Amino acid sequence: MAPLVRTSSTYFAVVGILGGVLLFANLAWIRQLDEGLAVTGLTDRISWGIYISGFIYFIGISYGGTMVSAILRLTKTEWRRPITRIAEASTAAALMVAVMMPIFDMGRPERVWSLILYGRIESPLVWDFIAIGTYLAGSLLFLYLALIPDFATMDRVLPRRVRVRRVAYRFLKMRWEGTPAQKRSLERALLAISIIIIPIAVSAHTVLSWMFGMTTRTGWHSSIFGPYFVGAALFSGIAIVVVAMAIFRRAHHLEDLITEDHFRKMANILLVFSLTYLYFTLNEYLTITFQPSTDEQILLQLLVEGPLAPYFWFSTLSLVLVTVLLALPRTRTIRWITVSALLLNVSLWVKRIVIVIPSMAVPLVPGDTVATYSPTWVEWAITAGSFASFCLIFAVFAKLFPMVSLWEIEEGEEAARLAAESPAGGPPARPAAPPAVGAKGGA
Amino acid sequence: MAAACPAAGPGGRTPDSAVPSPERRQTIRGIIRAGAAAAVAIAAGQSAVEVLGVHLPGAEEGHEVNRFVMVIDLAKCDGCQKCTKACQVAHFVPDGQEWIKVYTVKDGFGGEYFLPRPCQMCEDPPCRNVCPTGATYKDSDGLTLIDHDRCIGCRYCLAACPYSARYFNWGEPPHTEEELAHEYSPHEPWPHRRGVAEKCTFCVHLRAEGKLPYCVGGCPTGALYFGDAAEDGVTNSRGETIPLRKTLAGNSAYRLREDLGTGPSVYYLPRRGAP
Amino acid sequence: MGRWRAGRAHAAVAVVLTAAFAFAVGVPIQGSDVGVLPAQGCTCHSDGPNFDVQIAVDGWPAIYTPDEAYPLIVHGEGPVTGAGGGFSVDVTKGSLSSTDPTVLASGNHATHTSGAKRSWPLLWIAPPEDSGNVRFTVFVNLVDGDGSDGPADLWSVLVLDAQEKAPEPPKPSSMVMAFAGPDEVAQAGHNFTVHATIANSTGAPIPNATVTFAAKLSWGVLPLGAGTTDPNGTARANWSVPAPGDFLVTAYYDGSSKNLSSNGSVQVTVYDPEGVWQDLYGGQEKGVWTWFDPVRVPLGLLVGGVWLTFFYATFHILRLRKAGAREADGPVDLIKLLFSRSGRGRR
């Protein structure tokens, strides 16, 4: 609970830096609003660049919360309890940043409301809008639901001087007391959302992949795009949660709650997805290699030896490296797992570029040339700003609510204690109110 | 806000402070109404722009249907690009955009030829299919046009077009007095504005005047022919009118990327005979 | 032949005779003197032309109409006893013939076969159009019948010219066009025929004339070919279009020297009962989006169902709120809490 009332200088430093980056990004955004997208490196041939690949990336990492919180909840996996809050927060933060990215990419951002008024349901982009909008609503609802008991705790426990937040907590806790009736309601709601958020998440990213898959371009028009994107998303989502786990563990001194075991279990999940993703990647590129068609050969040549080759090789090789790191026992320590996760995230961000841009570089008309693209400082600045805002949202969250789900941990401890005390399975004692937060976890 | 609604429990009194004020009720109602309307609209799939399609008159004699086609004789095109320039001048096309672009193609036999590529005016245009707001639409004559008042600049159409026929105003295009004095319409899309997509219109605005598109009329060799498939004849800049179906059948005419099923309206007559 | 005698008057004749000789064509050389081109006149009989001999050619037109047949009678009179004589005619253009057995006429030349008379009928067929001027040169010889070519036989020469009749200005012709298709209905995708009938100013049809057909399209004129008019003055052309609507077919007759040009047009209404246009180009709304329509409703229901789950969860949130103890968390209380100084707000 301490971080909620006390702010360390490290925090200010970090927020300061992130704020600085964000400010710079805003300047770049203002410049782009002023002069139009001409300040980017985009051309008529390669008309989607790192804004769109960044968009895909952020939608991808939003899967972390879904995966850890919803799927692990449904499978009644106990070790998820300390990390669900971080996971749900990462999903919400990722989606909030993700919806901004297309707005940076639009030629007329002031007309974004047209999507609602004049939306054409036949367009994959509108499907995407609906799917991601639903996903954002669902994930915020999910985050909120899981926060209700903790809001109640904070309302009770926090010192009086945090007035503004107390007002919020007072209202948001929805008069939570932990009564069985309330618990039942909460569980039902959580169950419903946990169940529904999984297909929502899968469809959101699949629909995003269809934006590319439904065109006729070489490299995009591939039936594996749906599973490909979902696989990459699960992958990168877990990786981001791992990174966030490592950061908050250190920052909030959660070493006892978030243990090495957690990291190793997450590493296992990552390994499984990594192998799956390698499998998909192999499928995708091997089938391209085997095609005699000119377009596919041009694409392949672009990837392997063209100007985008560094991106391709980096993302592919780092993927292999990460798989190895995750598998070897020596590198399955917290530090190395975190490093792998971080590398993975960078790798997947680059991979999104490899997905979006080479297919646009392939010439479509006889006699046309291979196109090139080089992002400008505006694009890099706004991309950096997107990362900065993602981290900043986390930083703000850390001040708004605990980054571990207190009630879930207690719930787990309670169940474990009861199971130990009455192996015959007697009726569990009814707790009057959630016990005060003990020394354990002391955050 | 998820929990904004007051709780009027069954059988319980509603606390006074929990009842929303009339103004709030109005706002809520308004939001719900707008949301419902949007949902219905989206579900119905009706885009208001579909209604915008203006039916152009057919030939003076009154055709019931139109389908505009262009026939390009590659044997006659010498790559001079006068078509490109004529179009650019007449439509104040922003710099760097070539609504009809002439490509130099190596023919695989050691020679080269020139391929002018206007918008292919597909029967089933990928650009129209993916447009989220319906800014790119097909009018009742089958021409794919852009409503620049509706375009949000997402550039999905640029990504989807298999012919690289669409362009985007990345920055504010330079203007001339003459361009600014003109009144915008999708048929005569200038003054151009930034942040929207642009492309060839088959000079739909010349239709009513009975004039050939600028590219067709400006071709010095008469390589470009234009006409209405309903009339089964196409005309070039020299006034030569040739029968459409017979010419296409007799010269092994082809269309670009026929395999994609887009159904372009531009036919190419391959070079035949001596180089 | 006789000796050439110089002398002014004779010189003039000599010029004439030379000219006549110059115009002579293919005169048969026969054993007798009959039919021999009298280059210098019938000099076998007498030395030079005698101007007492009067030659007349009845029926010779001063202005001839091309291709017309003109019956001529050549006769001569003079102070020569008897009723015999001979003649020789050369005409520069046209053809000569005669039914009279005493006349030998063919091509450009006519002469007598026997010498028993002094008038001979001829038929001259004028040359065709654009032949220009024609010169008719006739020598008539009057013989006294004594059987010798003596100086009592006198001859003379007459040269006549005729001009071609100035062509009449062409008169207006008229054209009527009509559509006549199978069962009088033009169908898309099928050939239909249009007629053009031309008539001259008197209303008589003009046969064997070339009529050019064309279709008037929006941007140009499509040539449909040419046809030759039949004896009724009608020419035909075929066309077919793939679409229904009204189409304009025009025809043009270039005219001739007699007829001015004329043109006509006809509007043909084409119907499309078989849906030919639809088959060819009707797929303007084809593609994947035709099957999307029935998917809308299930898709809407799906998305609606998802949002219903959200409402379900919200409902539970409200329920748990209701199930909780009454607390001071109305808007007023919250605002009070916000501004409470030492935070000793009501709990």
Q: State which residues form the domain around B94.
A: 53-269
Each residue's pLDDT tens digit, C134-157: 999 999 888 887 777 667 788 889
pLDDT of residue B80: 96
Once rounded to an integer, what is the mean pLDDT over residues A37-60?
95
Task: Kindly state whether residues B133 and B123 are assigned to the same domain.
Answer: yes
Mean pLDDT on B230-243: 93
Q: Which of residues 116-145 of B touch C (CB under 8 A)?
A: 123-124, 129, 138, 142
Contact, B230 vs B65, CB < 8 A?
yes
Q: Please tell me if residue A131 touches chain B, with a CB cutoff of 8 Å.
A: no
Share of chain C above pLDDT 90, in %: 24
Q: What percent of chain B has pLDDT over 70?
A: 76
Question: Which of A32, A99, A105, A108 to mutate to test binding with chain B, by most B CBs within 10 Å of its CB?
Answer: A108
- Is there a contact between B93 and B190 (Cβ–Cβ < 8 Å)? no
Q: Which one-letter amino acid corresponds to residue A264?
A: R
B250 assigned to some structural domain: yes
Helices and strands, number each (H, E), in chain C: 4, 18
Residue A443: DSSP 8-state: -
Domain boundaries along the sequence of chain A: 2-361+376-406
Which pair of structure tokens corresponds to residue A90?
A: 């990462």
Q: Please answer whether residues C138 and C156 qualify as being in contact, where contact means their C-beta atoms are separated by less than 8 angstroms.
A: no
**For C70-96, b where at least 16 C-beta lie within 10 A, e where not — what string?**
bebebbbebebeeebbbbbbbbbbbbb
Domain ranges of chain C: 8-164, 174-284, 293-339
Which amino acid makes up residue B99? W
Higher-confidence position of B39 and A390: A390
Task: Extract the tokens encoding C249.
Answer: 């077919």
Three-class DSSP category at A386: helix
* φ and ψ at residue A369, rounded to 5 degrees: -105, 170
Is the Cβ pair A193, C292 closer than 8 Å?
no
Structure tokens at A41: 């490196």
For the cut 60, the answer to whether the pLDDT of residue C326 exceeds it is: yes
Of A62 and A66, the one with more pLDDT: A62
pLDDT of B182 reads 94
Q: What is the amino acid identity at position B38?
A: A
In-domain check, residue B96: yes
Contact residues, chain C, for A149 at CB < 8 Å: none
B:165-224 residues touching chain C, CB 8 A cutoff: 207, 210-212
Residue A160 tokens, joined: 């009086």
**Mean pLDDT score of chain B:** 82
In a domain, B274, yes or no: no
Nearest to B2 among C217, C317, C331 (CB): C317
- Chain B CB within 8 Å of residue C305 CB: no
Q: How far is B81 from chain C (nearest CA, A)?
A: 22
Across the interface, whether the CB atoms of B61 and C267 are under 8 A apart is answered yes
Flag whether pLDDT at C22 surpasses 60: no
Domain presence at residue B117:
yes
Encoded amino acid at A275, one letter = L
Q: Say whether both B118 and B182 belong to one domain.
A: yes
A122 and C292: CB-CB below 8 Å? Answer: yes
Q: Which 8-state DSSP code applies to residue B275? A: -
Minimum distance, in Å, between the CA of residue A132 and any CA atom of chain B? 15
- Strand pairing category for B144-146 and B167-168: unpaired
- Region A40-58 average pLDDT: 95
Q: What is the pLDDT of residue C79?
A: 86
Domain C174-284 has CATH 2.60.410.10: no
Please report the beta strands in A198-262, taking only residues with DSSP state E, as ranges in sequence order: none
CATH homologous superfamily of C8-164 equals Immunoglobulins (2.60.40.10)
Instruction: List C55's β-bridge partners, or say none.
Output: C76
pLDDT at C183: 59
CB A91 within 8 A of CB A67: no
Q: What confidence tens digit (pLDDT) does each residue in C57-110 have?
A: 999 988 998 888 999 999 888 888 888 888 899 999 999 999 988 889 888 999
Q: Does residue B275 form part of some domain?
A: no
Query: Alpha-carbon distance C59 to C56, whole Å?
Result: 9
List, in sequence order, the alpha helices (H) in chain B. 22-44, 49-52, 82-90, 126-130, 156-160, 177-181, 204-207, 214-218, 244-250
Distance CA A262, CA A344 (A): 18
Domains C8-164 and C174-284 share a fold: yes
Task: Tell me whether C302 touches chain B (CB under 8 Å).
Answer: no
Q: Which of A139, A148, A146, A135 is nearest to A92 (CA)?
A: A139
Mean local confidence (pLDDT), C316-326: 82
Residue type, B63: H
Q: Are residues B42 and B86 in the same domain?
A: no
pLDDT of residue C12: 61
- Over the stretch A386-405, which tens digit does the pLDDT of each residue have? 999 999 999 999 888 888 88
Instruction: Identify the helix (H) or strand (E) that includes residue C22.
Output: helix C8-23
Cis, bond preceding A109 (omega within 30 deg of 0):
no
Q: Which residue has the higher pLDDT, C151 or A373?
A: A373
Q: Measure B60 CA to nearest chain A CA, in Å.
A: 35
Angstroms from B264 CA to nearest CA on chain C:
11
Mean pLDDT of chain C: 80
| CATH number for the domain harbouring residue B220 | 3.30.70.20
- CATH code, A2-361+376-406: 1.20.1630.10
H or E element in which residue C212 lies: strand C210-216
Kindly tell me the number of DSSP H helices and DSSP E strands found in chain B. Answer: 9, 11
Q: What pLDDT is recorded for position A18?
A: 94
Rounded to an integer, the average pLDDT of B89-97 is 95
Q: Are residues B193 and B226 in the same domain?
A: yes
Q: Of residues C88 and C16, which shows the higher confidence score?
A: C88
Among C77, C76, C78, C124, which residue's Cα sits nearest to residue C98?
A: C124
pLDDT tens string C31-54: 344 444 555 677 677 777 888 888
Confidence band, pLDDT 50/70/90 cuts, at residue C287: low
Report if residue B8 sits inside a domain.
no
Write down the mean pLDDT value for chain A. 87
pLDDT at position A434 is 41
Residue B53: its pLDDT value, please?
34
d(CA A309, CA C269): 63
Q: What are the φ and ψ backbone dihedral angles of C75, each rounded to 5 degrees?
A: -145, 155
Which of the two residues, A64 and A378, has the higher pLDDT score? A378
pLDDT value of position B51: 31
Tell me how far apart the terminal alpha carbons of chain A are, to the nearest angstrom.
Answer: 4
Q: Tokens 């929303």 identify what position?
A: B20
**By CB neighbour count within 10 A (0-12 exposed, 13-18 middle, 19+ buried), where does A432 fall?**
exposed
In chain C, residues with a C-beta closer than 8 Å to the C-beta of B263 are 283, 286
Spatial separation of the C-alpha atoms in residues B247 and B232, rounded to whole Å: 10
> How much of chain A, in percent, has pLDDT values that exceed 70?
93
| pLDDT-above-70 percentage for chain C | 80
Name the minimum distance, in Å, from the CA of A149 to any CA of chain B. Answer: 15
Using the beta-carbon criterion (under 8 Å), do A167 and C338 form an inter-chain contact?
Answer: yes
Q: Determine the pLDDT at residue B134.
A: 92
B133 CB neighbours in chain A (<8 A) are 111, 114-115, 118-120
Beta-carbon separation of C343 and A164 below 8 A: no
pLDDT tens string A86-107: 999 999 999 999 999 999 999 9
Q: Identify whether the C-beta of residue B65 lies closer than 8 Å to the C-beta of residue C277.
A: yes
Kindly state the tokens that stand for C245.
């609507």
Q: How many CB pairs under 8 A join A and C?
A: 94
* B200 touches C208 (CB < 8 A): no
Q: Which tens digit of pLDDT belongs to each residue from A319-343? A: 999 999 998 988 888 888 999 999 9
Q: Which residue on chain C is closest to B235 by alpha carbon? A: C220
Given a cut of 60, is residue A428 above it in pLDDT? Answer: no
The Cα–Cα gap between A315 and A61 comes to 16
What gap in Å lies between CA C3 and CA A43, rounded to an integer?
108
**B134 shares its domain with B36:** no
Average pLDDT (A148-162) is 80
The domain tally of chain B equals: 2
| Size of chain B in residues | 275
Q: What is the pLDDT of residue C40?
A: 61
The number of beta carbons lying within 10 Å of the beta carbon of residue B21 is 8
Above 80 in pLDDT, residue B54? Answer: no
Contacting subunits of B (3+ beta carbon pairs below 8 A): A, C
> DSSP 3-state assignment of C200?
coil
Q: What angle do CA B77, B83, B85 make, to 5 degrees?
A: 135
* Chains in contact with C, counting 3 or more C-beta pairs less than 8 Å apart as contact: A, B
pLDDT for res C215 = 93
Residues in chain B with CB shorter than 8 Å from the CB of A114 are: 133, 150, 152
Q: How far apart are CA C237 and CA C211, in angstroms?
A: 9
Better-predicted residue by pLDDT, B4 or A234 = A234
Q: Is some CB atom of chain B closer than 8 A to the CB atom of A175? A: no
List residues of chain C with CB under 8 Å from any CB of chain A. 289, 292, 296, 299, 303, 306-307, 309-310, 312-314, 316-327, 329, 333-335, 337-338, 340, 342-345
Q: Which residues of C touch B229 (CB under 8 A)?
A: 242-243, 280-281
Q: What is the mean pLDDT of residues B143-171?
A: 95
The candidate with the shortest Cα–Cα distance to A70, out of A198, A171, A185, is A198
User: Which of A295-304, C166-175, C256-265 has the least mean pLDDT?
Assistant: C166-175
Residues B23 and B105 reside in one and the same domain: no
- The fraction of chain B above a pLDDT of 90, given in percent, is 67
Name which residue leads in pLDDT, A7 or A127: A127
- Please state, in angstroms and rounded to a whole number, the distance separating the CA atoms of residues A106 and A296: 29
Q: Are B64 and B142 members of one domain?
A: yes
**Tokens read off for B178:** 């003459």
Strand order in the sheet with B241-243: B241-243, B233-236, B224-228, B68-73, B266-269
Residue whose structure tokens are 């053809």: C95
For C313, nearest residue in chain A (alpha carbons): A189
Give the residue on B whose Cα is nearest the Cα of C290: B124
User: Using H for helix, E for strand and C for coil, what is the string for C276-338?
Assistant: HHHHHHCHHHCCCHHHHHHHHHHHHHHHHHHHHHHHHHHHHHHHHHHHCCCCCCCHHHHHHHH
The pLDDT, as a whole number, for residue B56 is: 38
Output C14 or C48, whichever has higher pLDDT: C48
What number of other Cβ atoms are within 10 A of residue B189's Cβ?
22
Write the burial class of residue C297 (CB in 10 Å: 0-12 exposed, 13-18 middle, 19+ buried): exposed
Q: Is A300 helix (H, G, I), strand (E, B) or coil?
A: helix
Per-residue pLDDT band for C282 (boundaries 50, 70, 90) equals: low
Give the closest residue to A215 by CA, choosing from C208, B260, C291, C263: B260
Q: Is the pLDDT of residue B2 over 60?
A: no
Buried b (16+ CB within 10 A) or exposed e, C142-169: bbbbeeeeeebbbbbbbebebebeeeee
Say what the pLDDT of residue C114 is. Answer: 80
Q: With 70 as the cut, is the pLDDT of residue C281 above it?
A: yes
> Between β-strands C262-271 and C186-187, what pairing exists: parallel, antiparallel or unpaired?
parallel
Q: Report the C-alpha gap between A236 and A349 in whole angstroms.
A: 9
What's the gap in Å between the CA of C296 and the closest CA on chain A? 8
Residues in B closer than 8 angstroms to C216, CB to CB, are 61
pLDDT level of residue B193 (50, 70, 90 thresholds): very high
Q: What is the pLDDT of residue B1?
A: 38
Is B221 found in the same domain as B168?
A: yes
Least-confidence region, from A347-351, C95-99, C334-338: C334-338
| A47 touching B (Cβ < 8 Å) | yes
